A = this chain, B = another copy of it.
Amino acid sequence: MGRWEPDARGRLMAAAIELSLEHGFEQTTVADIAARAGLTERTFYRHYADKREVLFAGPIDLHALLAESIAAQADSTSPIDAVATALDSVSGLMQQNREGSRLRQRVIDANPMLRERELIKLASLGAAMADALRARGVTDPTASLTAEAGIAAFKVGFETWVNDATDAHDLQHHVSECFDRLKAVTAGR
């Protein structure tokens, strides 16, 4: 793997996951990751802003996807349904790589610093959805609350999905079920 092999970013990400699964994320140094990818530490930081980011920078822009999905829906659609639909399309993309998600999640769950990064990524997606809702005239705090509620449903649904050893249902099903439960819960049931 020489200096000019293609897809340096992808190699770095793969190396980071491999090494973290083997020895843990903390025990893996950036120099280790770069070396396995055939690169140097300095080059790692040209591709990723910091060590944790290598596990979170996916190929698709979920912010844009969510924003466009919400913007595209009929004006008559309620905010919560718009959010549910947007997250459903994201779920559709994610579940194409269930095993990859499981490996990645195993690394993240084992490290508090990575959990922090995961939470701010989710919060950032929530902020994008809240913006999209405001753009269609939903006022605050309703816009923020709807987005946050959606993120909560997605988070819990995703967790159930990666931990479900039976593979009985897909991510969309789990998230959709969480939306239903959330509606029941806030109704006092």
Using a CB–CB cutoff of 8 Å, the interface residues on chain A facing chain B are 78-81, 112, 115-117, 119-120, 123, 141-142, 144-146, 148-149, 151-153, 155-157, 159-160, 177-178, 181-189
Contacts and interface: CB of A to CB of B under 8 A. Distances in A.
A145 B152 contact: yes
B141 A181 contact: yes
State the number of copies, please. 2
A186 B188 contact: no
Given A81-B188, A151-B152, A183-B187, 4 more contacts: A80-B185, A80-B188, A116-B119, A183-B186
A161 to B, nearest CB: 11
Nearest to A144: B156
A115 B116 CA distance: 9
Nearest to A153: B145
A187 B185 contact: no
A189 B144 CA distance: 14
Contact of A117 (B116, B156, B178): B116
A120 B116 CA distance: 6
Nearest to A122: B119
A44 B22 CA distance: 33
A149 B119 contact: no
